[in-house]
Structure 1
Amino acid sequence: MSSTPAPRPLSVAELDLDGPDTPDGTDRTGPPGRTARPDWPVLGFRPAPGGPPVVPGDVFALVRLRGRPAATVVGTVADGEDPATVLADLARRRLAEAGRPGTDAERLAAARTHVPGTPPAAPPARVSVVVATRERPGPLARALDSLLAQDHPDFELIVVDNAPRTPATHELVTRTYAEHADRIRYVREDTPGLATAHNTGLAAAEGAVVAFTDDDVIADPHWLSALTAPFAADPGLGCVTGLILPARLGTPAQVLLESHGGFAKGFAPRLYDPAHPPADEPLFPFTAGSFGSGANMAFRADALRRAGGFDPATGTGTAARGGDDLYAFVAVLAAGFRLRYTSEALVWHHHRDTWQDLRNQAYGYGAGLTAYLTATLVRSPRLLPALLARLPRGLAHARTMTARRGETPETGVPGEHGTQHHPWPASLSRLERRGMLYGPIGYAKARAQGRAQARTRVPGGTPGQGGGQGGGQGGGQARRGSAAVIR
């Protein structure tokens, strides 16, 4: 891996505090002006969902304020110490610092008093949740259990079995979850590729909002309600993304990925509006990596369909290796819709656990980045002038951010999301750059494979033997001929 000592494993936990709901400590749950208690009592402490018990050593903890995600901390718990006490002390300091003038007061302001599961004034719209999977019945069952426990009152689950080699997923959904047949639908998509699987799920969806997550997550019980509620308040909203935290940090690869940001986008809410581009992102809307990730996203169904859905020549399972979620974010923004990020919508992600997994991920990130940019310009060439106009400022901004990262000591200082910082190996940076060079080639290959498959498809929609991934097809509707839906 490298000559640098391997990162130590961490326990993962969540801690709930009875803290103030504003940066100045004023508690709005009682009489006006009442100041919250300075100790912020602990309301609850437990291991991350599905994770092992917390043991002495380093612990990564999500900090909630009365159920609402507010921050992450890392603390070292010695033998005989109470983990909840140690981490609560760290959390109080972290949140107090976040409320000081000149610091990230938004983080604490975002943690106003909230009771998960409180029903809104009007019944929420029906939601379709799409989970694409391939030959992973064990993780899928874990994900489905968490999705069935959602507090949203009206949703359906659509499991898209992507290019299956065995009947394992079909049997899991139709037998193990037979009692939930009114809630879960099985859809088979024989063309490999995550974007095609997502388009198939979108075509089958009955909900006004379509949420997407992965088979390797555990969804917080309030996830779906928090992810979809913003659509009711903003008719111009096309997409909402949420917070993704690690379910386990038991291997060096998992710790290293999370130490460098993982999938989390922080705790401050953010609205991305194409009519008012953010000043801190000179390349907007082409900075799609900052908007969110595909394991935790929802779209207004009509908006996603109007934007053309996912480009089927992107995503894992294709030669492009990734970028399907990034493409969809930019497509929806380019269609004039807004995008919102909220940390209230939380899923716990099981990071891949080996060094080779991390290598593959680094290469795939690089490839997916340039593949999505290529897809965006190929399918929406009108955006090219905007990209070229933003490029000089964007490159200058990137150089500044890189220089700041270079100033970070290579010994364990806290990382952005609460983990200890560990140097990102040069070998992984090289793989990312190689992936970036490959991305446009991979996208072109995927489009060519899609065209070849379309030629081998017999009348009536039966898949041919060409394999590969359909590319450059407009519309958010999946090709019905390659999908089998079983209710």
Structure 2
Amino acid sequence: MSRAPRVQREIRRFLDIGPVQVAELDLPDGDACAAAGGDARGEVTLRPGPGSPPVTHGEVFLLVRRGGRPVGTLLGRVPEGADPRTFLAARARERVGPRPAATAPPAPSTTVSTPPAPSTTVSTPPAPSTTVVIATREHADRLAHALDSLLAQDHPDFEIVVVDNAPTTDTTRELIERKYGERVRHIVEPVPGLAVAHNRGVRAAHGEVVAFTDDDVVADPRWLTELTAPFAADPGLGCVTGLILPALLRTPAQVLLESHGGFAKGFRARTYDPYDPPADEPLFPFTAGRFGSGANMAFRADVLRAVGGFDPATGVGTPARGGDDLYGFVRVLAQGHRLHYTPLALVWHHHRQTWRDLENQAYGYGAGLTAYLTALLVNRPSLLPAFLARLPRGLAHARTLTAGREAGAETEARAGVTDGARAGAGAGVEAGARSAPGGYDERTHAWPRRLSRLQRRGMLYGPVGYLRARRALVGPLRRSPDVPFTPPGGAR
């Protein structure tokens, strides 16, 4: 088939994608109910997702919780005339099943509605003091929603720093002064670039831990507690990442992105140790996209500072187009610190809305991937032998990662996605998917070849973009106020 008819077919497929409701359903803790001698089914709570209307008939993307804890997602279609709560609860129980006692959360920090045992209460270390950094640029409306959710966190000791990156108006400053006052610190970083803005936030942070999220998320009330609790439990952790789910699935672009994994990394907690590389990760640590995303990550502050922070020549807002978060993950691992992923730390992300947004995102992801790899090798040449040893597998991985993917294909291994690393779209209960919610069984929509080609082009451009950004940044960084100059790349 020639390219023109194929593109037309892809466009028709894209335009035919309908909206999906987003909701969350909380099943009672089966162990607690059983221990009390009651019905493990108990009371079920169904809530719409952030900014969504009440759930009605039609297709629903559902986060399933158990006792408040996220345990998976599913995609179900509520029949017209059916009660959504009853229908979705039945489907959720089919998929999740009773929770075995062995899977009970190990520490009170991961418990929402089940009272912790006295013995674990005594041994739980206090949550570390934390600084939450949000970099933003001219998005005051959505920033307000993010800040409202952050101020509702149940973490006992945190501050919020908003870094206003290369602003062209006073909108962000005026919003913070008018609505948030002293509850939120406002800092201007005149040099454009997400990594530069994040580094400015790190320098301003007072907390033992620095957490990062974006201005287009809504944080779950326990997000910060769950994201920082692993640091208290494991002194060797340098970084923790969390779960990202879609806040809305109203446009074809949003649904298509989530159908192919979105930003989720599954519902299985995992720790990555540089001294004990995972057997199922032959490219470790260079497939950093498996570890998490910049909208939901936290670092031990002294560890992040010791590695020089994020490379300012990476990230959105620079010619490199991205890769700053991936760079940070690998630098921390390469320094000998562990990285932990927890699905209990949840934020809801507002995906981009249009086809053009997806095109820019695909190209930017490709560019950011190879830009961050270039940054690693430039700033940490000792990683070159390990990189070259993994290069043949890496090239094969890149080809499959950017391949066009048909609907219904089992693409977990070929797309380089970890066990359970998706947000559930495509794992429809009506199709009889066998894995737990959040599994990676099938796709509800084909991935357009156009987007795959753009991602490959971005990968070819990434090293050039990084070197351009590196050259362009030296002067502006020297002139940035109140900041000691550090060459791009920071500490070696």
Q: TM-score range by the shorter chain?
A: 0.7 to 0.9
Contact 2:406 2:447 in 1 (8 A): no
Inter-partner Cα distance in structure 2 for 1:240 and 1:393: 27
Distance 1:447 1:116, change over 3 A: farther
Contact 1:313 1:470 in 2 (8 A): no
Inter-partner Cα distance in structure 2 for 1:408 and 1:98: 29
SS in 1 for 2:384: helix
* TM-aligned CA deviation for residue 422 of structure 1: 0.6
Inter-partner Cα distance in structure 2 for 1:451 and 1:400: 36
- Other-structure match for 2:68: 67
Q: Residues 240-262 of structure 1: CA distance to partner in whole angstroms, max 9, x if unpaired?
A: 00000000000000000000000
SS in 2 for 1:2: helix
Distance 1:268 1:7, change over 3 A: same
- Other-structure match for 2:128: 125
Distance 1:144 1:385, change over 3 A: same
Contact 1:259 1:417 in 2 (8 A): no
- Other-structure match for 2:25: 15
Contact 1:13 1:46 in 2 (8 A): yes
Inter-partner Cα distance in structure 1 for 2:461 and 2:477: 24
- Other-structure match for 1:422: 445
SS in 2 for 1:386: helix
Select which of 178, 182, 202 maps to 1:175: 178
- Other-structure match for 2:422: none
* TM-aligned CA deviation for residue 77 of structure 1: 1.2
SS in 2 for 1:61: strand
Distance 1:36 1:432, change over 3 A: farther
Inter-partner Cα distance in structure 2 for 1:462 and 1:333: 26
Distance 1:185 1:402, change over 3 A: closer
SS in 1 for 2:54: coil
SS in 1 for 2:147: helix
Distance 1:83 1:395, change over 3 A: same
* TM-aligned CA deviation for residue 115 of structure 1: 1.8
Inter-partner Cα distance in structure 2 for 1:453 and 1:290: 33
1:443 equivalent to 2:453? Answer no
* TM-aligned CA deviation for residue 217 of structure 1: 0.3
- Other-structure match for 1:278: 278
Runs of 5+ in structure 1 lacking a partner? 21-26, 100-104, 464-468, 477-487
* TM-aligned CA deviation for residue 400 of structure 1: 7.9
- Other-structure match for 2:289: 289
| Structure 1 segment 252-271 matched on structure 2, within 5 A | 252-271=252-271
* TM-aligned CA deviation for residue 29 of structure 1: 7.0
* TM-aligned CA deviation for residue 73 of structure 1: 0.8
Further displaced range: 52-61 or 388-397: 388-397
Inter-partner Cα distance in structure 2 for 1:189 and 1:287: 30
Inter-partner Cα distance in structure 1 for 2:402 and 2:458: 19
Distance 1:138 1:357, change over 3 A: same
* TM-aligned CA deviation for residue 404 of structure 1: 12
Distance 1:348 1:116, change over 3 A: farther
Distance 1:413 1:318, change over 3 A: closer
Runs of 5+ in structure 2 lacking a partner? 1-9, 411-424, 429-436
Distance 1:3 1:130, change over 3 A: same
Select which of 153, 156, 160 maps to 1:153: 156
Select which of 11, 29, 33 maps to 1:2: 11
SS in 1 for 2:370: helix
Residue type of the alignment partner of 1:427: R
- Other-structure match for 1:144: 147
Contact 2:125 2:233 in 1 (8 A): no
* TM-aligned CA deviation for residue 36 of structure 1: 7.8
* TM-aligned CA deviation for residue 3 of structure 1: 3.3
| Structure 1 segment 26-425 matched on structure 2, within 5 A | 27=31, 31=35, 37=39, 40-96=41-97, 114-115=111-112, 121-178=124-181, 181=182, 183-395=183-395, 408-409=408-409, 414=427, 417=438, 421-425=444-448
Please give the TM-score of this superposition, normalised by the length of structure 2: 0.84
Residue type of the alignment partner of 2:367: A
**Structure 1 vs Structure 2: percent identity of aligned residues?**
62
SS in 2 for 1:4: helix
Residue type of the alignment partner of 1:320: A
SS in 2 for 1:282: coil
SS in 1 for 2:389: helix
Residue type of the alignment partner of 1:433: R
Contact 1:126 1:154 in 2 (8 A): yes
Residue type of the alignment partner of 2:427: P
SS in 1 for 2:65: strand
Contact 1:128 1:156 in 2 (8 A): yes
Contact 1:216 1:350 in 2 (8 A): yes
Distance 1:400 1:295, change over 3 A: closer
Q: Residues 286-311 of structure 1: CA distance to partner in whole angstroms, max 9, x if unpaired?
A: 01000000000000001111111000
Contact 2:408 2:443 in 1 (8 A): no
SS in 2 for 1:431: helix
Contact 1:245 1:346 in 2 (8 A): yes
Contact 2:407 2:446 in 1 (8 A): no
SS in 2 for 1:62: strand
